[in-house]
Amino acid sequence: MDEGLPASRPDVTAALARGVTRMLVERGLAPILEVPLANGRRADVMALTPQGEIWIVETKSCLEDYACDSKWPDYVEYCDRFFFGVTESFPREIIPEECGLVVADGFGGAILRDAPVRQLVAARRKAVTLLFARLAALRAAEF
């Protein structure tokens, strides 16, 4: 088991998201979790750079989690950069080369492979940025 990660799959997933989020904040990005997209998918982690670039990190807690999820290409059209976030023990060689790669635990993470930039068109960027802003504001309000 990876140091810093709890044993159950939900706990591993939560710790992985926490480590990815911490790493993004350390790099100057503003991340939020569980972002619903217009195509009906839900991004595990979405982050906004100071320049307005949109990143999505799809977390995979184990090989089974990755194997049963073939919908990752549906996220690419909603971000400038797409990454997989995995644990230290995850078999990294199966992550597609066209995706960025983050390895994380409950305390932080590192980008092992940068994601290629696929610049969003202006209309999609505006829609996703507004979604991000509204979701972040609603969560901050905590009714």
CATH number at residue 136: 3.40.1350
- Going from the C-alpha of 138 to that of each of 29, 35, 89, 133, the distances in angstroms are 19, 12, 36, 9
Q: Does residue 89 belong to any structural domain of this protein?
A: yes
pLDDT, tens digit, for every residue of 98-127?
A: 999 999 999 999 999 999 999 999 999 999
Please check the confidence at residue 142 and state whether its pLDDT lies above 80.
no
- Return the DSSP state at 17: H
Q: Does residue 110 belong to any structural domain of this protein?
A: yes
Q: Does residue 65 belong to any structural domain of this protein?
A: yes
- Going from the C-alpha of 124 to that of each of 13, 16, 49, 113, the distances in angstroms are 29, 28, 16, 25
Instruction: State the pLDDT at residue 7.
Output: 66
Q: Does residue 90 belong to any structural domain of this protein?
A: yes
Instruction: State the pLDDT at residue 66.
Output: 84
Instruction: State the pLDDT at residue 31.
Output: 98
Please check the confidence at residue 6 and state whether its pLDDT lies above 70.
no
Instruction: Report the number of distinct structural domains present in the chain.
Output: 1
Please, what is the average pLDDT of the chain?
92
pLDDT, tens digit, for every residue of 25-64?
A: 999 999 999 999 999 999 999 999 999 999 999 999 888 8
Q: Does residue 1 belong to any structural domain of this protein?
A: no
Q: Does residue 2 belong to any structural domain of this protein?
A: no
Alpha helix stretches (DSSP H) within the chain: 9-26, 63-67, 73-76, 122-141
Q: Does residue 34 belong to any structural domain of this protein?
A: yes
Query: Which domain, by its residues, includes 103?
Result: 9-141
